[in-house]
Structure 1
Amino acid sequence: MKIIKLEKVNSTNLYAKELLSKKLVFENTLIYTNTQSEGRGMGKNTWFSDDYKNLTFSLLLFNNFKADEHFNISIIVSLSIFDYLSLKGVLSKIKWPNDIYLKNKKLAGILIENTITGNIITNSIIGIGLNLNQDKFPQDLPNPISLKNVTNIEYNIDDEIQLLSNTIVANFEKYKFKDFNFLRDLYLSNLYKYQEKSRFKSEFQEFEGIIRGVDNYGYLLVEVADKIEKFYFKEIEFLE
């Protein structure tokens, strides 16, 4: 795997997109940085990180999934972060659709951007921000936590990026030919608030429901008033 280390960049995902647009990369590539000035999340969300404190990187992978298997990519990445944290003795949960939680606090976020040609995902840019060594966070962030907050260990950033990125690549090789049902069952066994009564907010209302699963397109299946309703990314949010 090709490795590109940047001292500073606006966004590792944007940098990966630029490499693709200029046809400068044709192999799996890890891009990471000590300082990211415009870290991105889903939609208009941003990702805050103190310089030289956390994992901020993107993996550009050429895996050739079918377009309708796009949620499999999200599942594999989420499970990989779960596996990485398990190696540290830390039990995490995957919060649908793209966060990693320790209890009720956010440790990591994932942003996946796919290039689709015909019915094939020709490449995926997998952006990950993971709070590693940061001790304190801005007060306007609702619920952040770092690995150091939990373990009281100061981690080597280069070593941890290598370990996590290698875990992700290895899991793509391990899981890429598994069917959705197999991946879904692994995902659900580690899903935040799965089978628990929770409060949610949609565009129109607040309500109680129970997460009953996900489908192969990434819709969250929530039981509301004895009926299963489907919600896509950004159509629903948790009320903590």
Structure 2
Amino acid sequence: IMIMKKNFLLEKQRILSFYNGQTPIEFYEEVKSTNDLAKQLQEKENGNKVYCAKRQTNGKGRFDRVFSSENGGIYLSYLFKKVPKEKVRFITPYCAVACAKALEKVVKDEIKIKWVNDLYSLDKKICGILCESKLIGNLADYVICGIGINVNTQTFSKELQDKASSLFLNYSKYFDASEICAEVIKNLDEFNYNFNKQKLLNEYRLRSYLDDKKVLYEGKEYNVKKIDDDFSLIIYNDFEEIKLSAGEVSLQVLK
């Protein structure tokens, strides 16, 4: 195994050397979960904030699945404060595109988005996104987007080996986690002042991993038709066409 140079790891000063935006960044060596931390601390924040860690001991994905948080990854939660209700549903796809663009810039290869919130590189998952929000009337008091990216991760548990990978394992070289982290934050910063639904939809569709694939949904096989204008997924078989909304839907991709 190649020795990883220190400057490939996530370091606060190094992130700041690539980032000149306004959003404050809180950096930790290790936390249980950046999303849980952001939830605890968000009340005293008036604006957006980033919570970032080198390691998580209790990371979670959708359906409370354990999210593997090994050394060499990026674990961050981006706190959006006071988001208009009509924009909240676009935050997950926005995060997916923001992360994909950041990775493409550094990796110089295409990154795909598996609806709704996973990023794939060379047919394996390298990033998971989990957004949580608290709605009060017409405003989300907060939306917290947890992002885990396998950058220089070298090993995965037996259960994950076939499904998950890292940039290091895919390309046999190390990538600068701090640079990727800074690019992700820059892209997320734009949500507040540069959001365009049609542009987002185009960029999301452009990278859609499920296009023309077969999927298993509730025990039945379907073909993927398209990502609809509201970011739902349309699937069909000989008997029916179904529109799936992003919430709690689990799809298995068939080879």
Q: How does 1:84-103 map to 2 (within 5 A)?
A: 84-88=102-106, 89-103=108-122
Q: For residues 145 and 171 of structure 2, what CA distance do their matches in structure 1 show? A: 26
- Root-mean-square deviation (CA, aligned residues, Å) is 2.0
* Alignment-derived partner of residue 10 in structure 2: none
Structure 1 residue 77 corresponds to structure 2 residue 99: no
TM-score (norm 2): 0.82
State the distance in 1 between where 2:238 and 2:137 align: 40
Alpha-carbon distance in structure 1 between the residues aligned to 2:200 and 2:186: 19
**Distance in 2 of aligned mates of 1:75 and 1:173:** 17
Aligned to 1:190: 207
3-state secondary structure, aligned to 2:126: strand
**Within the alignment, does 1:209 sit opposite 2:230 as a pair?**
no
CA contact (8 A) 2:115 2:210 kept: no
User: Aligned letter for 2:100?
Assistant: F
**Contact in 2 for aligned 1:213/1:222 (Cα 8 Å):** no
Q: Closer, same or farther in 2 for the Cα pair 1:15/1:209, shift >3 Å?
A: same
CA distance in 2, matches of 1:197, 1:146: 23
Aligned mates of 1:173, 1:57 — CA distance in 2 = 21
Aligned residue among 26, 38, 55 for 2:58: 38
Tell me the CA shift for residue 226 of structure 1: 6.3
Contact 1:215 1:221 in 2 (8 A): no
**Kept after mapping to 1: 8 A contact 2:82/2:139:** no
Rounded to whole Å, the distance in 1 between the matches of 2:133 and 2:121 is 27
Deviations for 1:12-42, whole angstroms, at most 9, x for unmatched residues?
Answer: 000000012xx32222111111221000111
Provide the secondary structure at the position in 1 that maps to 2:89. helix
Aligned positions, number: 229
Q: Tell me what 1:16 maps to.
A: 38
The within-5 A match list for 1:104-183 is 104-141=123-160, 142-175=162-195, 178-179=196-197, 181-183=198-200
The secondary structure found in structure 1 opposite 2:88 is helix
Report the CA distance between 1:173 and its aligned residue: 2.9
Change (3 A) 1:25 1:69: closer
- Which one of the candidate residues 47, 53, 67 is aligned to 1:27? 47
Structure 1: gaps (5+ residues):
none
Where does the alignment leave 5 or more consecutive residues of structure 2 unmatched? 1-22
Confirm or deny: 8 A CA contact 2:55 2:73 kept in the other structure.
no
Q: Deviations over 1:24-75 (max 9, x none)?
A: 2222111111221000111211210223x10011111225232x43331112
* Alignment match, 1:225: 238
1:85 Cα offset (Å): 1.6
